[in-house]
Amino acid sequence: MTEPFHVPQGAPQAAPQAASGLIGFSGSAQAMSLVAFTAVATITLLLCVMTGPDRDDLDEFYTGYRSLSAVRNGLAIAGDYISAAMVLGGGGVIAVFGYDGVVLALSTALSLMLLMFLLAEPLRNAGRFTMGDALARRMPGRAVRITACAATLVALLPLMLVQLAGTGDLLAFVLGFSGENLKTGVIVGLGTLMIAYAAIGGMKGTALIQILKIVMLLGSGGIIAVLILHRFDWDLGALFGTAATNSGVGSRFLESGLQFAAGPHSELDMISAQLTVVLGGACLPHVTMRMYTAGSAREVRRSLSWAVPSVTLFVPVITVVGFGATALVGREAITRADPQGNTAYLLGTRAVFGADVSTAETLLFTTVTAAIFLTVLASVAGMILACANSLAHDVFATGAKPLTPRREMALARISAAVVGVVAIILATMVQHRSLQPLITLSFCLGASALAPALVYSLFWRRYTRAGLLCTLIGGSLSVIVLMTGTSLVSGSPISAFPDADFNWFPFTTTGIVSIPLGFAFGWLGTLASGRERSEEQRRQYEAVEGWILAGATRRGS
C-alpha cells in the first residue's frame, strides 16, 4: 500500500550537501543486485510451482484450504499492506516533506487497525472466496457480482500499473541502464513472472511470497535504520535537525502543512488524504481477500494481531530511512534523482555506508534492493490474483450454466493471464507519465465505493440491492469525475498531462467529497427502493445477522 501522495511544483529549493557520488551505485553493487534479482525470481517461482493447487481444487486455489497459521496469514496480510509503492513512494514523501509524510505513513497502520476492529470478522463470515461473495450474501444476483467484479478491477488495475511501470525505472536506477527499450522489456518480463505467480501458486503460493518479502523487508530495513541512528550517535534530534537543515525549508520540514502548502486549502487537503488512506487501504480487494483464508473468526483476529505490529513496525523504519536520506543526501539531490522522491529509500541506504563501501555493506545494500524487488513481485501478483478470482468466481461461475471446479480453475488462471497482459500493455503506455494520479485513484475508489458498500452490507439491516449498486457505481463515478479536475492530472509540471490545464478541483484527493457521496448514494438508492423492499431486506438480514457478525454458522455461497 501507499498513500495518495504528490509533490507540488517547486518543492525542493535549497541546495543540500553535495551527494552526486552517492546517486550512482558501484559496479559490484549492480552486479550483486542483478544476481540477487535473478535468484529471487527463480526461488519464488519454484515456491509457486511446489505449492500450486490441483487442477480442480477451488478451495486450495482461492483460500489455500484456510490452512495458513495465524502467524503466516498475518505476515501475508502485512505484505499486502506494505507494497512497493509504500516503500518507495512513502519513503520519498517522508524524505521530501518530513512530518507530513510520517503522518500519512501512520495512516496506513491506522487503516489496518480499522480493518481489524470493524470489518475483518464480518468479512470472513459473510464471504467465501471474493468480495462479491460478501456483498452477494444478503443480496444474491448476477448484477451484484458483476458490479463487484468491475469495482475490483477498476480499483486494483491503477495500482498494478504504478508498480509495473515503476519497476522499469527502479531497475534502471539500481542497475545503471537508461534505455527505454530495456525498461519496457523489464516491465514485460516481470509482468509475465507475476502472472505465473498468480496462475500457478494461487492463494498459498502468493502468501508464501508475501511472507518471504515482509521478513526480508523488515529485516533489511531495520538494519539500515539502526545504522542511520548509529551514524547520528543514536540522537533522533540530531537526525531530524540535520534533515531539516538539508531540506532547504528549515523548521517547516518538521511541521505540518508542507506537503499541501501549494494548494488553496492545505489543511482540508491533508485531512482528505488521511481519510482516503484509512478507509481506502482497509477495503482494497487484494487485502480483504486475505480474510477468507482464515479458518475461523478467532484465526482472523490472531492473524491481524500479527499483521498490525508488522506494519506498525515498518513505520518507524521507513521514517528513519526517509529522514536519513534527507540528512545524508539532501532533498535537492533526492528530487533530482526522481521528482517524486521514489529513490529516497535506496539513496538513504547507500548513503549510510559513506564513500568507501566494504563487501559486507555491498551485500547489505543488495539485500535491500532484493527485498524491494521481491516487494514489487509479491504486490502485483496478489492484485492479479484478486482480479482473476473475482472474474472467474463472480462473473463466469455465476452464469446460467454451472461450472465444474476444474473449469472454474482453468478460467481463473486464464483470467490471471488476461488481467496481467492488460496491465503490462497499459503500464508500458503510462511509464513516461506521472503515476501519482493512479495511486490516488485506487485509494479513492476503495474509500468512496468499496468502503461504503462493505459497511452498509455488513451492518445496515435495511440496505437494498439498489442501494448497493448505487454505492458502487455512484461512488466510483464521483471519484473518476473529480479526479479529472485535480492538480495530479493537469495544471502542474509533475502532473500526468503537464502541457494541459483543466484543474478545477481544489484538493489533491477526492475523498473529502467522494466518500460522503459514496455513502449518500447508498442511502438514496435504498430510500428509492421503497419501504416494502427495505423491510424485506431487514427481515433477511436479521435471519443471518448472527453468523455475519459472530460467525455462528458458515454457509455456502
pLDDT at 104: 84
Indicate if the pLDDT at residue 282 is higher than 80.
Answer: yes
What span, in angstroms and rounded, lies between the C-alpha atoms of 329 and 323? 10
Q: HEC string of 420-441?
A: HHHHHHHHHHHCCCCCHHHHHH
Per residue in 325-352, pLDDT (tens digit) is 999 988 888 888 877 788 888 888 888 8
pLDDT at 65: 58
Q: Are 148 and 321 in contact (CB under 8 A)?
A: no
More confident residue, 146 or 556: 146
pLDDT at 449: 95
Residue 478 half-sphere exposure toward CB, CA atoms < 13 A: 27
Q: Are 71 and 306 in contact (CB under 8 A)?
A: yes
What span, in angstroms and rounded, lies between the C-alpha atoms of 450 and 279? 9
Helix residue ranges per DSSP H, 98-232: 99-114, 120-126, 131-136, 142-175, 180-196, 202-231
pLDDT (average), residues 489-499? 80
Q: How far is CA 180 from the centre of its chain?
A: 26
Which of the 8 DSSP states describes residue 2?
-
Burial class for 432, CB neighbours closer than 10 Å (0-12, 13-18, 19+): exposed
Indicate if the pLDDT at residue 22 is higher than 80.
Answer: no
Per residue in 437-459, pLDDT (tens digit) is 888 999 999 999 999 999 999 89
pLDDT (average), residues 211-223? 91
Parse the chain into domains and list their residue ranges.
57-434
pLDDT at 356: 65
Which of the 8 DSSP states describes residue 17?
S
Specify the amino acid at residue 249.
Answer: V
57-434: CATH class: mainly alpha
With bands split at pLDDT 50, 70 and 90, how would you rate the model's confidence at 371?
Answer: confident
Radius of gyration in angstroms for the set of CA atoms belonging to the chain, rounded to a whole number: 23
Q: HEC string of 54-119?
A: CCCCHHHHHHHHHCCCHHHHHHHHHHHHCCHHHHHHHHHHHHHHCHHHHHHHHHHHHHHHHHHHHH
The structure's pTM equals 0.87
Lowest mean pLDDT among 28-37, 62-71, 133-142: 62-71
Q: Are 382 and 77 in contact (CB under 8 A)?
A: no
**Kind and range of the H or E run holding 300:** helix 297-328
Specify the amino acid at residue 381.
Answer: A
pLDDT (average), residues 282-293? 87
Burial class for 238, CB neighbours closer than 10 Å (0-12, 13-18, 19+): middle
What span, in angstroms and rounded, lies between the C-alpha atoms of 158 and 360? 38
More confident residue, 52 or 214: 214
CA nearest to 137, candidates 528, 353, 508, 458: 458
With bands split at pLDDT 50, 70 and 90, how would you rate the model's confidence at 554?
Answer: very low
Per residue in 406-439, pLDDT (tens digit) is 888 888 889 999 999 999 999 998 888 878 888 8
Q: Which of 192-196, 261-265, 473-477 ranks highest by mean pLDDT?
A: 473-477
- Within 10 Å of residue 262's Cβ, how many Cβ atoms? 17
Per residue in 149-182, pLDDT (tens digit) is 999 999 999 999 988 887 777 777 777 777 778 8
What span, in angstroms and rounded, lies between the C-alpha atoms of 315 and 109? 8
